[in-house]
Structure 1
């Protein structure tokens, strides 16, 4: 970009040099004409005309220099604006790349979190199955214990019934009444 600015300055400087050379040549010609007119008998009138013409040429030269300086300034401003736009586009691209990287990172994190959640759910299901199996085993044990106790109660009741029946018969046979 700086090379472009330097090249533009050199080009403008060459234009100015060429214009200055042309104007200097015209000035020399005017000076020669003034000298010639001064030597002439009607020199005073010719001198004022030459001075007026020289002043017009100087004013034109000053206006031309001012116009060129304005053109150079405008070109510099346009160049700076283009550079600023390019920088803004580059920053926008950089920001877009950063956002894309963050989105990718967040997607990976979401995937990792999802895998962690799935693993925890699997562990919870396995633990629930294990606990259910333990509960089922405990329930089966208690049911078997209850059946065993019920059988013992029936056996005890049967023995007690036999005892009572035997006792009652003994009482009936031994009772004098």
Structure 2
């Protein structure tokens, strides 16, 4: 199997570890193969957009989601390390408001599948990180929402030593009690 797949504490959020072939010259891995992804996860996804983000240490991006046109995301890090978080925003879910966090790095080659209906964000742990992700729907800024990263109702245990560097929209994000959510 080209991927090892492990469910997180939120069973729909999956850690994918691709098979890595390495030697003294470096390494090779197949970062995405639709057929193998489907076989490993039993999910049929159609990615429509790829994004690349570079951030410095202490930057926290998120927790983002789109209330209409929700996006599934397959995320990975190609330089540095991040603490990546998904929060279940589906009111019908028994895990509504719960979160899962995973360290993704260029060294561990892990990927994370974050399905539609979940907020997503990450904290940069290394001096710099390059973060790549595929999405199942396009970005619609008018439907984008931010969930407050430090909402005590979520209780996310961010591994930080100092206050994070935030975008204005993330600093002013809604707490879970006031956030737009999914059915």
TM-score, with length taken from structure 2 = 0.14
Q: Which has the larger radius of gyration?
A: 1
TM-score, with length taken from structure 1 = 0.14
Structure that is richer in helix per residue: 1
Structure that is richer in strand per residue: 2
